[in-house]
Amino acid sequence: MADRIVVTSLGILSALGLGKEAHLHALTRGHAGLQHPQFLKTFHAPDCLIGEVRMSDEELAISLNLPGGNNGYTRTTLLALFAMRELLQGVDESLLKDDSFAFINANTVGGMCSVENMYFDFISNTPEGDFLKYIDTLDCAESTQNVAKYFGLKPMMATISTACSSSANALILGARMIQQGVVERAICGGCDAMSRFTVNGFLSLKNVAKNPCKPFDQNRMGLNLGEGAGYLMLERETDAKKRGAEILAYFTGYANTNDAYHPTAPSPDGAGAYRTMFQALEKANLQPETIGYINAHGTATINNDAAEGKAIENLFGTQAPYFSSTKPFTGHTLAAAGSIEAIFSIWAMQEGKVFPNLNFENQMEELQIKPAAQLISNVAVNHVLSNSFGFGGNNVSLVFSKV
């Protein structure tokens, strides 16, 4: 039997807080992290709810022992540093001091959250603004490099940007690198911070809801955006056991496909989503009926939920496993969504719970299945499927199995 890939450490930051305790408290009590933005300066603040991390850039920097003000660290990087710091607690630093491990980071808009402020600096002609130092941060790889530098790491590095499936693809790349013997372990995940560019872009698509989003509901009106970071450490099972590490889950299956249908819309029949779920189960050597819970992509947009719902129904039938979208809790965290929701999926197995699909009220007319609207406890969840579907029809499904 081939050496299995396992998850041995996690780090997460979102609008729900930092770490497992804060997130489980919110997920099991139905406490959403959405609010009108306090730190993102946007004309649209009164009209949109965002899963915003409730710390300013200054507070984040000081907590990380960095200077405040224009220190050259973008909010994107600061969020990533918080989640990475949590993951690295208790990890032997000697394991991460050379290129025997990889850091695969995902991002969509890089340091746009800081670069876009240069506009105001220029028009106000305020020399003390000094935002020019953020020019180089527009590259999505900036956060990858600065995270490694902050922690004194010298890994093999890669940055992935495939829209909303970015960090799910990062996990696939990390697992493949381990399986091929390129590295011994990999830290994989993603980060994204809110920016006016992001908000305005999604508003132009007319798919942002003014009220809390309603995934898989007949009356869904669009998504709520969010920000955050999530990272998972992957390694071989034999290596983890050799060093006495706690194994949190097995990473048993994965797949990615592409619809090649439309730049921003999925194939209406859900064909791409079906293929990636089917192939992920095939990789894991599992039958559909063995899946106990699906953490759905579930953006609450008209097209995405219809396509994903049809794909689930086509693969699993009308007796589909429990499924829910956790985006009403955190907002759609973009590049971080895949890794954050992978972590939620692992916790669902560990806790024997199905997290609720908040705000669900009305069955979708085109589906016979519906999400779990309430918290379900004491469930035997041995295998979970986590979906992340991005612009351009970039579909990723991940399978995790219980230890």
200 to 1, 205, 208, 320: CA distances (angstroms): 50, 9, 10, 36
Q: Is-contact 386 255, C-beta < 8 A?
A: no
- In this prediction, residue 260 has a pLDDT band, given cuts at 50, 70 and 90, of confident
Longest Cα–Cα distance of the chain, Å, equals 65
Average pLDDT, the chain: 94
Which segment of 172-186, 212-226, 262-276, 279-293 scores lowest on mean pLDDT?
262-276
Indicate if the pLDDT at residue 364 is higher than 90: yes
Question: Which residues make beta-bridge pairs with 295?
Answer: 324, 386
Phi, psi of 252 (to 5 degrees): -100, -25
399 in helix, strand or coil? strand
Closest CA to 235 of 181, 280, 286: 181
DSSP 386: E
Closest CA to 320 of 216, 203, 230, 214: 216
Listed by start position, the domains of the chain span 5-242, 255-401
CATH 3.40.47.10 assigned to 5-242 = yes
Average pLDDT over residues 141-147: 95
Q: Tokens 């493949």 sit at which residue?
A: 176
- In this prediction, residue 115 has a pLDDT band, given cuts at 50, 70 and 90, of confident
- Other C-beta atoms closer than 10 Å to the C-beta of 266 total 30
Indicate if the pLDDT at residue 1 is higher than 60: no
Extract the tokens encoding 207. 């798919």
Say yes or no: do domains 5-242 and 255-401 share a fold.
yes
Average pLDDT over residues 216-225: 97
- Is beta strand 50-51 parallel, antiparallel or unpaired with respect to 225-226? parallel
Q: How far apart are CA 240 and CA 225, in angstroms?
A: 36
DSSP 68: S
Which of residues 114 and 124 earns the better pLDDT score?
114
Average pLDDT over residues 175-194: 97
- Other C-beta atoms closer than 10 Å to the C-beta of 168 total 34
Q: What is the pTM of this model?
A: 0.96
- In this prediction, residue 175 has a pLDDT band, given cuts at 50, 70 and 90, of very high
- In this prediction, residue 318 has a pLDDT band, given cuts at 50, 70 and 90, of very high
CATH 3.40.47.10 assigned to 255-401 = yes
Indicate if the pLDDT at residue 120 is higher than 80: no
Residues acting as catalytic residues: 164, 297, 332
Res 267: pLDDT:
83
Res 294: pLDDT:
98
- Other C-beta atoms closer than 10 Å to the C-beta of 285 total 10
Q: How far apart are CA 96 and CA 155, in angstroms?
A: 7
- In this prediction, residue 69 has a pLDDT band, given cuts at 50, 70 and 90, of confident
Indicate if the pLDDT at residue 127 is higher than 80: no
Question: Which residues make beta-bridge pairs with 235?
Answer: 6, 185
